[in-house]
Amino acid sequence: MSRIGVFVCHCGLNIAGTVDVERVTAALATEPGVVWAEDYKYMCSEPGQQMIAQAIEERKLDGVVVAACSPNMHETTFRIACAGAGLNGYMCEIANIREQCSWVHADREAATRKAVAITRSMVEKVRGDEALVPIKFAVNKRALVIGAGISGMQTALEIADGGHEVVLVEREPHIGGHMAQLSETFPTLDCSSCILTPKTAEVGRHPRIKLLTHSEVVEVSGYVGSFKARIRRNPTYVDWGACTGCMECMNKCPKRVPSKFDCGMGESKAISVAFPQAVPYRPQIDRDSCIYFATGRCKVCERVCPTSAIRFEQEPEYVEEEVGAIVLATGYDLFNKALVGEYGYGQYPDVIDGLQFERLLSASGPTAGAILRPSDGKVPKQIVFIQCVGSRDEEKGMPYCSKICCMYSGKHARLYRHKVHDGQAYLFYMDIRAGGKGYEEFIQQGVEEDGLVYLRGRVARVFPEGDGLMVWGEDTLSGRKVEILADMVVLATAMVPRHDARELAQRLKVGTDAYGFFSEAHPKLRPVESLTRGIYMTGAAQAPKDIPEAVAQAGSAASKVLALFSGRELEHPPIIVELIPDLCSGCGLCVEACTYDARSIDPVSRLAVVNDILCQGCGACAAACPNGATVLRNASREQILNMVEALMQDE
């Protein structure tokens, strides 16, 4: 005979305001099998949990029903409370009389009757429950980090420092991401490379970081604790082991190409290393520009290489890495200014975007740090900075704010003024978002000390006028139209996810939002986790953010991974499906029904199989199975039918 205890929560007025909780308690007290029933104002509180523990001990309960809020909130709380008192946690069920009752009805009488019915049905469920034990499984304490920008590198370093091996995959031939392209960083105006290179150097030499650059993750299978990643190492056409980094190849290469690292503002060669501090400092051949690949002639690099490291015949190489956790840190791109018609569709050479301006500012950039007009190499005396290009723009498809542009536009304008003392900087803005530490002061300093002119209003048009660029805007605060003949215009274009982020997300079964940013499990409380256990995210790939936030998130993601790796084994909730082999006909409907790839047909026995760890206990296959061979634990057909009867009892 069951000995079930029912505990009804008031939840302040959330439940008690609509449902007569005393009546519910009284009704349940007379249910067969229920030996104890009481109510309390806040069951989830410590006294509330104490009540349950006490009742379990004193009344020798073998099942508990807590009628309260959604199991999403406190199922874990109550299960642990029961376990603490010696009752298996899976003998504790939640009757949701808040989200599914008191919060959605107004009629007190009807709501109370419904609450009784719901609780009654959960009593039926508990009656059929079995004590379950979490499934333990092995965890491979190696991590995969995809993307080696500042956030990815930081994650890798922290996991590696925590004692575990990290495979760090990066698409570019070098690490450092966009931060390597920056000149100085706000609000300190620290030289970006100066603060970045200690990290890149550390990553390069860390004994526990396996660095795979010029590589991409093409396939991932498995589950938390045992992922298998297939990584394609794209050919660099140079044997990096033999290469000494002398760069004679780059010096002598006859083919000039626009430099990708310099965002087209400068030139590079068909064989090149992106910048002097690149880690690894090894060259790669761009197949599309190389003369040899196009015509079969040249091969100058091969001739001049002192260690014969050039390998034109190199093919993509595939490696398999087994890891227990994955962190996505693929970063961002900038919205393409060639899509902005009112500012010239990318046709005016002196209209550039933020990253291009960074390359002009940078001492290692195409102009050695001098601000010069791309069109004629002259020093611009009037620069207009336009904020919110693409951002906060419903029509262009990016209604969000890109967060960093107010700060970096201010930074650009200030650095320009430091370099060109008789230059004038105008910034068109809508609002100034300077919420970080020292940010507002930075902007104010720009206005007070560097003479920046801020004009509130969006620019309608930029068009060429003589040698310059006419900018039509308005200063909304005075209501006057403004016309500026600028020498150069810098667009603060929106931050967008990488163009193939969605594809990667699909491969990993991670969600993305409407714009392609990776979806976190909860925007407030779980910002670095995805809904797939074992896969985490960090940095601008999740949402626009600045460097301090990217670094902080990296630490958070790393700590999640370290927590995952901290025990001997991992635990998986035991509410999964079980197979009754005698009833299985091998029809495969369960395989089709499963969205988690947890079902398959064994090729030898021709019977269905369950992968315990991939199974999320959704029950779809149990519903699909025509023979009833698949059973969801603690949710058998009898239990469910009994629950339905209990719900319909008074109807």
Partner 1 sequence: MSEHSLAAVNLRGGPSTEIWPDLARMVTRASGQPVLRCYQCHKCSSGCPAAEFMDFPPSQIVRLVTYGLADQMLSCKAIWACTGCMTCGLRCPNGIEVGAINDVFKSWILSGKLPQQVGDKLGTDQAKAGNRRAALFHKLFLMTLKQFGRMHELALMGGYKVASGDLLSDIPVGVKMLFKGKLPLLPTSGPYRREVAAMFQRAPLVTRRRLKPARRLSELNQRRQGR
Partner 2 sequence: MVYAYYPGCTLHQQAAGFRDSTAKSAQALGIELAEMPNWQCCGAVYPLARDNLFGVVSAARNLAAAHDLGQAMVTICSACYHVHKRTNRLMATDQDARAKLDAYVETEYDGSGEVLHLLEVIRRDIGFDALRERVKVPLEGLKVAGYYGCLLLRPQEELEFDDPEAPRILEDLIEGLGAEAVTFSHRAECCGQYLSLSNPAAAHRCSGAILRSARRAGAEVVVTSCPLCFFNLDEAQAELAREDPEFQPLPVLYFTQLLALALGAWEQPWLPAEHQVDPGPVLSRFKLPVAEPAGSEE
> In the complex, which residues of this chain contact partner 1 (CB under 8 A)?
342, 388, 392-396, 430, 456-461, 472-474, 476, 479, 481-482
**Residue-wise burial string across 511-527, b where 16 or more C-beta atoms lie within 10 A, e elsewhere:** ebeebbbbebbeeeeeb
Q: Which stretch binds partner 2 (CB under 8 A): 145-153, 297-305, 462-470, 598-606?
A: 462-470
Residue 470 contact, options partner 2, partner 1, none, Cβ 5-8 Å cut-off depending on partner type: partner 2
What angle, 0 to 180 degrees and rounded to 10, lies between the N-to-C axes of helices 108-128 and 21-29? 40
Residue 646 CA to residue 33 CA, distance in Å, equals: 13
Q: Which is nearer to partner 2, 465 or 503 (CB)?
A: 465
Q: Which is nearer to partner 2, 472 or 596 (CB)?
A: 472
Residue 457 contact, options partner 1, partner 2, none, Cβ 5-8 Å cut-off depending on partner type: partner 1
N-terminal to C-terminal alpha carbon distance within the chain: 27
Residue 396 contact, options partner 2, partner 1, none, Cβ 5-8 Å cut-off depending on partner type: partner 1
Per-residue HEC secondary structure of 444-471 comes to HHHHHHHCCEEEECCCCEEEEECCEEEE
Q: Which stretch binds partner 2 (CB under 8 A): 5-13, 96-104, 109-117, 459-467?
A: 459-467
Residue 553 CA to residue 551 CA, distance in Å, equals: 5
Residue 479 contact, options partner 2, partner 1, none, Cβ 5-8 Å cut-off depending on partner type: partner 1
**How far is C-alpha 289 from the chain's CA centre?**
34
Q: Which stretch binds partner 2 (CB under 8 A): 72-80, 223-231, 385-393, 457-465?
A: 457-465
Q: Which is nearer to partner 1, 81 or 471 (CB)?
A: 471
The three-state secondary structure class of 37 is strand
Q: Which is nearer to partner 1, 172 or 474 (CB)?
A: 474
Q: How far is the CB of 402 from partner 1 (least distance, A)?
A: 13
For residue 394, what are the contacts with CB-CB under 8 A and spacing of at least 6? none
Residue 67 CA to residue 101 CA, distance in Å, equals: 11
Q: How far is the CB of 531 from partner 1 (least distance, A)?
A: 31
Residue recorded with tokens 């594809």: 503
Q: How far is the CB of 476 from partner 1 (least distance, A)?
A: 4
Q: How far is the CB of 491 from partner 1 (least distance, A)?
A: 14
Asked whether 49 and 79 are in contact (CB, 8 A), the reply is: no
Q: Which is nearer to partner 1, 390 or 619 (CB)?
A: 390
Q: How far is the CB of 461 from partner 2 (least distance, A)?
A: 8
Residue 628 CA to residue 624 CA, distance in Å, equals: 9
DSSP string, 566-596: TSSEEEE-S--EEE-GGG-----HHHHH-SS
Main-chain dihedrals φ then ψ at residue 260, nearest 5 degrees: -70, -40
Q: Which is nearer to partner 1, 456 or 498 (CB)?
A: 456
For residue 647, what are the contacts with CB-CB under 8 A and spacing of at least 6? 117, 118, 120, 121
Element containing residue 25 per DSSP (H, E): helix 21-29
Residue 145 CA to residue 329 CA, distance in Å, equals: 7
Contact with partner 2 (CB under 8 A) among 12, 441, 463, 602: 463
Q: Which is nearer to partner 1, 298 or 470 (CB)?
A: 470
Size of the site for partner 2 (CB under 8 A): 9
Q: Which is nearer to partner 2, 267 or 465 (CB)?
A: 465
Q: How far is the CB of 390 from partner 2 (least distance, A)?
A: 15
Q: Does 376 bind partner 2 (CB under 8 A)?
A: no
Q: Which is nearer to partner 1, 50 or 336 (CB)?
A: 336
Residue 533 CA to residue 20 CA, distance in Å, equals: 40
Q: How far is the CB of 345 from partner 2 (least distance, A)?
A: 6
Q: How far is the CB of 460 from partner 1 (least distance, A)?
A: 3
Q: Which is nearer to partner 2, 241 or 466 (CB)?
A: 466
Q: How far is the CB of 401 from partner 1 (least distance, A)?
A: 11
Contact with partner 2 (CB under 8 A) among 26, 85, 189, 470: 470
Asked whether 219 and 229 are in contact (CB, 8 A), the reply is: yes
Asked whether 5 and 61 are in contact (CB, 8 A), the reply is: yes
**Range 334-373, binding partner 2 (CB under 8 A):** 341-342, 345, 347
Q: Which is nearer to partner 2, 318 or 463 (CB)?
A: 463
Residue 474 contact, options partner 2, partner 1, none, Cβ 5-8 Å cut-off depending on partner type: partner 1
Long-range contacts of 189-198 (CB under 8 A, 24+ apart): 189/411, 189/414, 189/415, 193/277, 193/364, 196/150, 197/277, 197/279
Of 222, 223, 217, nearest to 144 (Cα)? 217
Of 60, 214, 227, 61, nearest to 148 (Cα)? 214
Beta-bridged to residue 489, according to DSSP, are 351, 384
Q: How far is the CB of 337 from partner 2 (least distance, A)?
A: 13
Q: How far is the CB of 474 from partner 1 (least distance, A)?
A: 4
Residue 347 contact, options partner 2, partner 1, none, Cβ 5-8 Å cut-off depending on partner type: partner 2
Q: How far is the CB of 391 from partner 1 (least distance, A)?
A: 9
Residue 460 contact, options partner 2, partner 1, none, Cβ 5-8 Å cut-off depending on partner type: partner 1
Q: In the chain, what are the helix, strand and coil shares in percent, each to the nearest 5? A: 30, 25, 45
Q: Does 465 bind partner 2 (CB under 8 A)?
A: yes
Residue 55 contact, options partner 2, partner 1, none, Cβ 5-8 Å cut-off depending on partner type: none
Q: How far is the CB of 460 from partner 2 (least distance, A)?
A: 11
Residue 254 CA to residue 289 CA, distance in Å, equals: 11
Q: Which is nearer to partner 1, 93 or 474 (CB)?
A: 474
Q: Which is nearer to partner 2, 30 or 347 (CB)?
A: 347
Q: Which is nearer to partner 2, 310 or 351 (CB)?
A: 351
Q: Does 71 bind partner 2 (CB under 8 A)?
A: no
DSSP string, 136-172: EEE---EEEEE--SHHHHHHHHHHHHTT-EEEEE-SS
Residue 465 contact, options partner 2, partner 1, none, Cβ 5-8 Å cut-off depending on partner type: partner 2
Residues lying near partner 2 in the complex (CB under 8 A): 341-342, 345, 347, 463-466, 470
